Every structure is written in structure tokens, then in C-alpha cells.
């Protein structure tokens, strides 16, 4: 059989025009995909939104077979005409086509810029921001999410541009946040008919359905302006002779500082990608960690004992020590498994027609790896609803490392993994070394039950907050 003679993977048909667009729940679609996969008794399912075929891979094997082993076919991004063409976002690190020769250069640059060697150089930045975070936590523990956000935004602005932020109202932070907000609107799935039907490109801007042209024009200009603000700032600082080394300055000064426009564009897009990639993902992981520690005092105590033993109690943990904290590393693996940051990673696109398990995968189909379905697969992780770092400790029956899925797939897998892990582990270690995290003590018994754990729906998912107490630790050595 040629693939074109085979049938698509099973899945719901939906409406003749919209496909399943109106059948998708607003909350946690990854759970619905997993249940469709069980219902159709197939790890790989397909459905349609407008005229686009979506394929969802719901187990580790299909993800590995297609997104990893056939990465040369499965590493492009879906076409999004509104965002990529109208709003000029086709060259961002996240959107760039895997067939564009710049994609390879982007990956090399970002991997180099965030790999183990560079991360070591960034240790003073991580250390400085950690001290601020712990001070903020002591002053106003209730605002812990904002403090954690401030920590990672502070780190990434310094790493990307050598720029010191004052607080979250800082101009550069507003610039980055506005970029993210507009980008989210331009990429909202199913919102722009023109993403699906090329004929819609010809709707005049003054007619209903033509607002993509009106809005697109404004957004394009704004995004162009915003992406240039921090880049120009670094160039000015460099010209003045006094600047802090950063990802941008490092690459701008290569080749004797003579950089053509094309290379400069590459540096600008890559540095911009750091903020988008880092700011929300890291906050999600650390917030989940803090709340889960309140629910699991015994895990918290074991992690703290290890931190005390390896880092000592008189000084803060250092970035160079986190690789020695094996139990804390197991806690992070379990946080990434139990509270996946990206439940569906980011969508990929297959560039050629393909065949898998007797099914046809049509050219240009959007292919999604259901990270949640794998991380909650009870054949890989028995009793997946239980939070237990012990899954990854010891020598027997160690469960698979969830990081192989939590950070995405193939040639699009997260290039910030090493940097992310080091900076998150340092924040985890620093927080536990100075604070006890607990549930509030309620006098009313009805309120004293453990809070239910639930998560938000989005490209990045966050744990829904419940009350916790973060109190300075009474150091045994200083009692
Ligand atoms: C807990 C932390 C993080 C998680 C869970 C995470 C997860 C992911 C995932 C799932 C993807 C999509 C992969 C795919 O399409 O298959 C991704 C892409 C990406 N991440 Fe991360 N990430 C994290 C932190 C970071 C950090 C700290 C940075 C940079 C400083 C970063 C930069 C990027 C970039 C630039 C991409 C786009 C890669 C491409 O499209 O080629 N990420 N990440």
C-alpha cells in the first residue's frame, strides 16, 4: 500500500466544517485526547479542526518512533499565516521552519549560549538573584509566586541582555510581556480562519472576517518595535564601552564585532526566545514545587537534610553544588512528571506524507506529543497520581526519567534544559535551606483537609494556588 491508500488514525469526525473545534473542552484537552486514545484503542489518534488534520501521539513508543527517530520529517511547526506572515513572527526561535537553514544556526547558538559551560559563567547572576528572592520571601511570603517570577525574569534579562531589572514593572519586562501577549493572540488556535483557508487572505480589511488585516498591521508594527528595544539597548551600552557581558553582547562581539544584518537578526531572535522560553516555564515548575512541599513534609525534610549535608547551613547553596543533590534532583524529576509544565509540548508539523502502524499521516498534519498521557501512563509510572520522588531513587526498578518527554521532542526539544534545571534546582535548594513550607493550621476541622490539586490550561500549565505558609527556618546550629 502507498500511504495515500491507507486510512487516517482513528478519531472523532466532528462537524463537516469545523471538525472537532467545538468538541474540545476549554479545560485540559490532553486528558480528552488520552481518553479518545483509550476509547479507539489506539495510541495514535487523529481528528480535524477546520481543514487541518491533527495527529496526537499518546504513548512513549509512538512519540519516540515519529518525533525522535523520524525527526527530519516531524520537526517543522504548523503554518500560522496570521502570526507568521501577517505579524512577521516566522523567524522567532519557536516558529522558524525546520527547513530554514537558520533553524540549525539558532539551535547551535541557543544550545551554546545555555549549555553547561555558559551556565557555569552565569552562576554569579543565579546567586545574586537567589539572595534577592530569599529576602523577598522573608519580607512577604504570601507573594511568593511574584517573587519567583521576579527571580527568573531577573536572571533571564541579565543572561540575554546584561540588563538589571528593578522589579516586575520594569520597562524591559513590560516590553517582553507585551510581546508575549500580542503573540498569544496572533497564535490562538482556531481564531483566524486565514490560518486554515488561503482564500480568506483575499477578504478586504473593511469586511467582516477581514479584521485579521487591520489588527495584523498594528500588531506587526508593534512587535517589530518591541523586539528591537532590548537589542538596541545592548548595542548602545557596548558602544559606550561599559556593559555587562550577556548572550547578546557575546555573539555581537564575535568575528571582531563585524556582524552583518543577517547575523544580527539571528542574535536578536535568539535572545528574544530566551525570555519567552524561560519566564513562564520555570515559574510553573517552582510554584508546583513549593505547593507540593507543603503537602509532603517528609519529602521536604529529606531534601533539606541532603542540602544541609552537602551545602552546609551557614551559606547559601551554590549553583556548582546542585549536581551533588541527588535527592533534590529526584524531587525535580517528580515535579516535572506530576505537574507537567507543557502538557502537549508545542505542536510539530510533518513535512511529507508518512505511514505509521498501518495508518496514513498526511503531509502538513499537525502532530502533537501528549506529554501528560505519557507522564501519567501507569505502565511507566505505577500509581501516577501519587507524588513520589522515590520513583527515581535506588538501583532497582527505577522508573523512566520524565525529562525525556517533559522538554519536548526531536529537533525542537527544549534547548534551555540544562540552564533551566540548574537555575530551578538552585532556587529549590535555596528556598528549602532557609524556609519551612507548610499548610496553614486551621482551627476549623472542615478546612484542615488537604487541598485538591488542579492545574490551569494553556501552552504552559500552572498549579492552581492554595494557601501555604513559608516561614524562616530556625537553624539547628544557631539555636
Ligand atoms: C521547566 C522548564 C522548561 C520546560 C519544561 C521547557 C519545555 C519546553 C518544551 C516542551 C518545548 C517545546 C519542544 C517541542 O516543540 O517539542 C520547549 C521549547 C523551547 N524552550 Fe524550553 N522549557 C523550559 C525552560 C526553558 C528555558 C529556561 C529556556 C531558555 C532560557 C527555554 C527555551 C526554549 C526555546 C528557545 C524553545 C524553542 C525550541 C525550538 O522551537 O526549536 N526553555 N521548551
The ipTM estimated for the assembled molecules is 0.99
Residue pLDDT, tens place only, 383-422? 999 999 999 998 788 999 999 999 999 999 999 999 999 9
Using alpha carbons, select from 344, 413, 333, 345 the residue that is nearest to residue 380. Answer: 333
87 among annotated binding-site residues: no
With a Cβ cut-off of 6 Å, ligand 1 is lined by 93-94, 110, 114, 156, 273-274, 277-278, 281-282, 285, 341-342, 345-346, 406-409, 412-416, 419-420
Residues 176 and 172: their CA atoms lie apart, in Å, by 6
Beta bridge partners of 76: 349
> By alpha-carbon position, which residue is closest to atom 7 of ligand 1?
407
Cα 397 to middle of ligand 1, angstroms: 29
Asked if residue 118 lies in contact with residue 112, where contact means CB atoms within 8 angstroms, the answer is yes
Set of cell numbers at residue 476: 539547628
Q: How far is CA 39 from CA 12, 32, 45, 324, 339, in A?
A: 10, 10, 10, 44, 24
Q: How far is CA 206 from CA 196, 420, 433, in A?
A: 20, 46, 60
- Block means of pLDDT (10 residues each) for the chain, 479 residues, are 84 93 88 97 96 96 98 96 92 95 96 92 96 97 95 95 89 87 84 90 88 92 89 95 93 86 94 91 97 98 98 95 98 98 96 97 97 98 97 91 98 96 98 97 67 92 96 73
Asked if residue 455 lies in contact with residue 462, where contact means CB atoms within 8 angstroms, the answer is yes
DSSP result, 121-186: HTHHHHHHHHHHHHHHHHH-GGGHHHHHHHHHHHHHHHHHH-----STT-HHHHHHHHHHHHHHHH
Those residues whose C-beta lies under 8 Å from the C-beta of residue 191, and which sit 6 or more positions away, are 82, 185
Q: Which of 67, 277, 280, 423 for a ligand 1 pocket mutation test, highest count of atoms within 8 Å of Cβ?
A: 277
Q: What does the pLDDT read at residue 477?
A: 57
Using alpha carbons, select from 334, 352, 358, 339 the residue that is nearest to residue 62. Answer: 358
Instruction: Encode 185-202: b = buried (16+ Cβ within 10 Å), e = exposed.
Output: ebbebeebbbbbeeebee
Residues 248 and 303: their CA atoms lie apart, in Å, by 36
Set of cell numbers at residue 387: 507524588
Q: Which of 70, 113, 416, 424 for a ligand 1 pocket mutation test, highest count of atoms within 8 Å of Cβ?
A: 416
Q: Enter the pTM of the model.
A: 0.94
Residues comprising the chain, all counted: 479
Q: What does the pLDDT read at residue 479?
A: 44
Amino acid at each position: 500500500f502507498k500511504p495515500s491508500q491507507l486510512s487516517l488514525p482513528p478519531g472523532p469526525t466532528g462537524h463537516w466544517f469545523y471538525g472537532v473545534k467545538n468538541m474540545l473542552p476549554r479545560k485540559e484537552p490532553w486528558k480528552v485526547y488520552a481518553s479518545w486514545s483509550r476509547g479507539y484503542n489506539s495510541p495514535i489518534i487523529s481528528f480535524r479542526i477546520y481543514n487541518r488534520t491533527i495527529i496526537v501521539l499518546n504513548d512513549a513508543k509512538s512519540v519516540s518512533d515519529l518525533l525522535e527517530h523520524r525527526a527530519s520529517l516531524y520537526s517543522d511547526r504548523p503554518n500560522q499565516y496570521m502570526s507568521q506572515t501577517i505579524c512577521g513572527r516566522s523567524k522567532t526561535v519557536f516558529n522558524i521552519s525546520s527547513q530554514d537553514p537558520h533553524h540549525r544556526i539558532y539551535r547551535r547558538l541557543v544550545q551554546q549560549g545555555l549549555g553547561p559551560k555558559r551556565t557555569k559563567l552565569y552562576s554569579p547572576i543565579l546567586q545574586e538573584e537567589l539572595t534577592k528572592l530569599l529576602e523577598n520571601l522573608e519580607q512577604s511570603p504570601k507573594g511568593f509566586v511574584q517573587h519567583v517570577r521576579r527571580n527568573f525574569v531577573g536572571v533571564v534579562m541579565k543572561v540575554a541582555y546584561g540588563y538589571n531589572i528593578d522589579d516586575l514593572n520594569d520597562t524591559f519586562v513590560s516590553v517582553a510581556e507585551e510581546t508575549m501577549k500580542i503573540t498569544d493572540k496572533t497564535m490562538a488556535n482556531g481564531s483566524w480562519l486565514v490560518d486554515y483557508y488561503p482564500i480568506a487572505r483575499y477578504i478586504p480589511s473593511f469586511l467582516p472576517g477581514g479584521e485579521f488585516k487591520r489588527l495584523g498591521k498594528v500588531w506587526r508594527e508593534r512587535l517589530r518595535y518591541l523586539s528591537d528595544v532590548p537589542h538596541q539597548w545592548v548595542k548602545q551600552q557596548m558602544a559606550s564601552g561599559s556593559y555587562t557581558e550577556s548572550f547578546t553582547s557575546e555573539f555581537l562581539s564575535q568575528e571582531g564585532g563585524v556582524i552583518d544584518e543577517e547575523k544580527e537578526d539571528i542574535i536578536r531572535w535568539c535572545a528574544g526566545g530566551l525570555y519567552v522560553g524561560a519566564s513562564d516555564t520555570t515559574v510553573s515548575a517552582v510554584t508546583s514545587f513549593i505547593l507540593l512541599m507543603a503537602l509532603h513534609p517528609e519529602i521536604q525534610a529529606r531534601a533539606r537534610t541532603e542540602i544541609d549535608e552537602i551545602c552546609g547551613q551557614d551559606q547559601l547553596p551554590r549553583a556548582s553544588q546542585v549536581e551533588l543533590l541527588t535527592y533534590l534532583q529526584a524531587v525535580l524529576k517528580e515535579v516535572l512528571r506530576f505537574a507537567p509544565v507543557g502538557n502537549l509540548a508545542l505542536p510539530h508539523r510533518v513535512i511529507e506524507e508518512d505511514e505509521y502502524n498501518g495508518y496514513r499521516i498526511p503531509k502538513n498534519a499537525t502532530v502533537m506529543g501528549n506529554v501528560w498521557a505519557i507522564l501519567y501512563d501507569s505502565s511507566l509510572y505505577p500509581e501516577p497520581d501519587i507524588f513520589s520522588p522515590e520513583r527515581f531513587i535506588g538501583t532497582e526498578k527505577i522508573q523512566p526519567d520524565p525529562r525525556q518527554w517533559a522538554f519536548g521532542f526531536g529537533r525542537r526539544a527544549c534547548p534551555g534544559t540544562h540552564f533551566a534545571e540548574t537555575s530551578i534546582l538552585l532556587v529549590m535548594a535555596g528556598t528549602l535551606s532557609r524556609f519551612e513550607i507548610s499548610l496553614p493550621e486551621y482551627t476549623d476541622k472542615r478546612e484542615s483537609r488537604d487541598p485538591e490539586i488542579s492545574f490551569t490550561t494553556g501552552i504552559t500549565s500552572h498549579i492552581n494556588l492554595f494557601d501555604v505558609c513559608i516561614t524562616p527556618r530556625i537553624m539547628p546550629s544557631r539555636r
